[in-house]
Structure 1
Amino acid sequence: MSRPPDTSGVADELRRRLGLFDAVVIGLGSMIGAGIFAALAPAAHAAGSGLLLGLAVAAVVAYCNAISSARLAALYPASGGTYVYGRMRLGDFWGYLAGWGFVVGKTASCAAMALTIGFYAWPAHAHAVAVAAVVALTAVNYAGIQKSAWLTRAIVAVVLAVLTAVVVAAFTSGTAVAERLDIGADASIGGVLQAAGLLFFAFAGYARIATMGEEVRDPTRTIPRAIPLALAITLAVYAIVAVAAITVLGPQRLAQATAPLSEAVQVAGVHWLEPVVRVGAAVAALGALLALILGVSRTTLAMARDHHLPHALAAVHPKFKVPHRAELAVGAVVAVLAATADVRGAIGFSSFGVLVYYTIANASAFTLGPGEGRPPRLIPVVGAIGCVVLAFALPLSSVISGAAVLGIGIAAYGVRRVITRRTRQAGSGDSQQRAHPPESG
Structure 2
Amino acid sequence: MSSTAHPAPPALSARRTSSIHHAPGSSQHERVAPGDIAVGVVIGRASEYFDFFVYGIASALVFPAVFFPFAGRLEGILYAFALFAFAFVVRPIGTLAGMAIQRRFGRSTKLTIALFLLGTSTVSMALLPGYSTWGELSIVLLAVCRIGQGLAMGASWDGLPSLLALNAPKHRRGWYAMLAQLGAPLGFLIACSLFAYLWKNLDAADFLTWGWRYPFYAAFAINVVALFARLRLVVTHEYERDLHARELEPCNEGELFRKQGRHIVIGAFAALASYALFHIVTVFPLSWILLYSDQVTGEFLAVQIVGAVLAAAAMPVSGLIADRIGRRRTLALLAVLIAVFSLFAPLLLDGGTLGQDLFILVGFVLMGLSYGQAAGTVTANFASKFRYTGAALTSDFAWLIGAAFAPLVALGLSARFGLIALTVYLLSGCVCTLLALRASRSLAARG
TM > 0.5 fold call: no
Q: Report 1 or 2 for greater relative contact order, CA contacts < 8 Å, sequence distance ≥ 6.
A: 1
Q: Over alpha carbons, which structure has the higher Rg? A: 1
Superposition TM-score, scaled by structure 2 size: 0.28
Structure 1 length-normalised TM: 0.29
